[in-house]
């Protein structure tokens, strides 16, 4: 038997309302992907430009054939290997897919999330659920239900509770519409993971090459200015910050010399997956303290840190 909140969420989707749903990456702001008025409400709630495409969340891999036309063989292989999971496939759209969902492009982004609440909702609803991350446009994605409530409030009809998102950063996006598969956004599933299934090289596209949202340099940013600092320079940066109030996110524990009312220190896990899981909650927490600057210890250069480095680079970028 499905829990009462799922039935309520399905009823809201059917009448064109908005439901925030937990996924293993971040929370999504969901609407019936076949209802143009409902999809328009997503853009209004987020304050997002209407030409930006949104990902369609599916109940099962069989739905790939209803949303993609044709279905690239690579999409079938990747769906089999990684769905449900933190991987979005960009594929040629089927004719019925709304321009509002695709941003008028000939392709559509599809994913099956790996979260019991999201899966229960998708199964009970049966159709596709269009869902960008459930944050205001340009802000950090929410890994917890309370972030969604604080940021979107009454603009959402229902926020489904699903605990802290396991991955904590957005899905890997792989574009399968070109001659070779290309990663448009790095995530928990790496180029290497994809190559192992496809038996072919997977390119990682520099985001400035595309014009999709989430590719804007200043996307995923806290309001407080954020700076990346090498570990070897942390002490000096703090020592020379004068009367300015700093937030620090580091893999190291807080040193004894810092003054807790001037420097808010948050220790993040030292492994890439743990750091990704903690990242947005820590930045949202520090962003709420009215500090002058957030200083983040630059992550290592290894392959495993590519997705975290990507998000931090964007968060540190200021449009001039």
- The continuous run of DSSP H or E covering 131 comes out as none
Task: Name the closest residue to Mg ion (Cβ).
Answer: 133
As given in the structure block, the two tokens for residue 29 are 């702001």
User: Binder to ligand TXA among 10, 131, 263, 283 (CB under 6 A)?
Assistant: 131
Smallest Cα–Cα separation from 151: which of 15, 280, 56, 273? 280
Q: How far is the CB of 220 from Mg ion (least distance, A)?
A: 8
Residue 165 near ligand TXA by CB under 6 A:
no
Residue 54 near ligand TXA by CB under 6 A:
yes
User: Binder to ligand TXA among 39, 92, 125, 133 (CB under 6 A)?
Assistant: 133
Q: How far is the CB of 272 from ligand TXA (least distance, A)?
A: 17
- Total interface residues for ligand TXA by CB under 6 A: 28
Q: How far is the CB of 25 from Mg ion (least distance, A)?
A: 10
Q: How far is the CB of 105 from ligand TXA (least distance, A)?
A: 5
- Alpha helix stretches (DSSP H) within the chain: 4-14, 36-46, 64-67, 73-82, 99-102, 116-125, 145-152, 191-198, 234-239, 272-287, 306-316
Residue 25 near ligand TXA by CB under 6 A:
yes
Q: Which residues pair with 227 in a beta bridge?
A: 295
Smallest Cα–Cα separation from 134: which of 125, 143, 121, 126? 143
Q: Hey, how many other C-beta atoms are within 10 angstroms of the C-beta on 270?
A: 12
Q: How far is the CB of 168 from ligand TXA (least distance, A)?
A: 10
Tell me the window of 4-12, 105-113, 221-229, 297-305 that interacts with ligand TXA (CB under 6 A). 105-113
Cα–Cα distance, 185 to 173 (Å, whole number): 5
Task: Name the closest residue to ligand TXA (Cβ).
Answer: 214
Smallest Cα–Cα separation from 270: which of 297, 296, 251? 251
Cα–Cα distance, 59 to 71 (Å, whole number): 17
Cα–Cα distance, 294 to 316 (Å, whole number): 9
What backbone torsions phi and psi does residue 73 show, to the nearest 5 degrees? -55, -35
Smallest Cα–Cα separation from 294: which of 225, 218, 219, 220? 225
Residue 108 near ligand TXA by CB under 6 A:
yes
User: Binder to ligand TXA among 112, 212, 276, 286 (CB under 6 A)?
Assistant: 212
Q: Hey, how many other C-beta atoms are within 10 angstroms of the C-beta on 104?
A: 11
Q: How far is the CB of 289 from ligand TXA (least distance, A)?
A: 25
By beta-carbon proximity to ligand TXA, the closer residue of 133 and 224 is: 133
From Mg ion, ligand TXA, none, which one binds at residue 168 (CB under 5 to 8 Å depending on kind)? none
Q: How far is the CB of 136 from ligand TXA (least distance, A)?
A: 11
Q: Hey, how many other C-beta atoms are within 10 angstroms of the C-beta on 259?
A: 8
Q: How far is the CB of 93 from ligand TXA (least distance, A)?
A: 7
From ligand TXA, Mg ion, none, which one binds at residue 107 (CB under 5 to 8 Å depending on kind)? ligand TXA
C-alpha angle with apex 23: 165 to 120, nearest 5 degrees? 130
Residue 114 near ligand TXA by CB under 6 A:
no
Cα–Cα distance, 287 to 222 (Å, whole number): 6
Residue 105 near ligand TXA by CB under 6 A:
yes
Three-state SS for 69?
A: coil
Residues that bind Mg ion (CB under 5 A): 133
The footprint of ligand TXA (CB under 6 A) covers 23, 25-26, 28, 52-55, 88, 90, 102, 105, 107-109, 111, 113, 131-133, 170-171, 173, 184, 212-215
């Amino acid at each position: 038997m499905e829990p009462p909140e799922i039935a309520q969420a399905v009823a809201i989707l059917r009448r064109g309302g908005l439901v925030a749903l937990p996924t293993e990456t971040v929370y999504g702001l969901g609407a019936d992907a076949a209802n143009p008025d409902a999809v328009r409400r997503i853009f209004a709630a987020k304050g997002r430009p209407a030409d930006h495409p949104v990902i369609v969340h599916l109940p099962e891999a069989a739905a790939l054939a209803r949303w993609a036309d044709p279905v690239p063989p690579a999409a079938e292989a990747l769906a089999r290997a990684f769905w449900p999971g933190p991987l979005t496939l960009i594929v040629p759209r089927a004719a019925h897919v709304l321009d509002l969902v695709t941003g008028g492009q000939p392709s559509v982004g599809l994913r099956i999330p790996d979260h019991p609440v999201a899966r229960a909702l998708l199964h009970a609803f049966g159709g596709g659920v269009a869902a960008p991350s459930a944050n205001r446009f340009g802000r950090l994605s929410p890994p917890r239900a309370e972030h969604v409530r604080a940021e979107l409030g009454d603009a959402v009809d229902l926020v489904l509770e699903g605990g802290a998102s396991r991955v904590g950063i957005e899905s890997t996006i792989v574009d399968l519409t070109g001659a070779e598969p290309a990663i448009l956004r790095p995530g928990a599933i790496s180029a290497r993971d994809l190559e192992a299934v496809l038996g072919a090289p997977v390119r990682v596209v520099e985001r400035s090459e595309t014009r999709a949202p989430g590719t804007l340099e200043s996307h995923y940013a806290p309001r407080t200015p954020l700076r990346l600092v090498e570990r070897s320079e942390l002490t000096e940066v703090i020592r020379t910050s004068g009367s300015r109030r700093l937030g620090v996110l580091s893999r190291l524990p807080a040193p004894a010399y810092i003054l807790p009312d001037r420097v808010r220190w948050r220790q993040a896990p030292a492994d890439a997956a743990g750091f990704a899981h903690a990242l947005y909650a820590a930045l949202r927490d520090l962003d709420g303290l009215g500090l002058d600057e957030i200083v983040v210890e630059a992550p290592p250069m290894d392959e495993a840190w590519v997705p975290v480095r990507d998000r931090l680079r964007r968060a540190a970028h200021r449009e001039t």
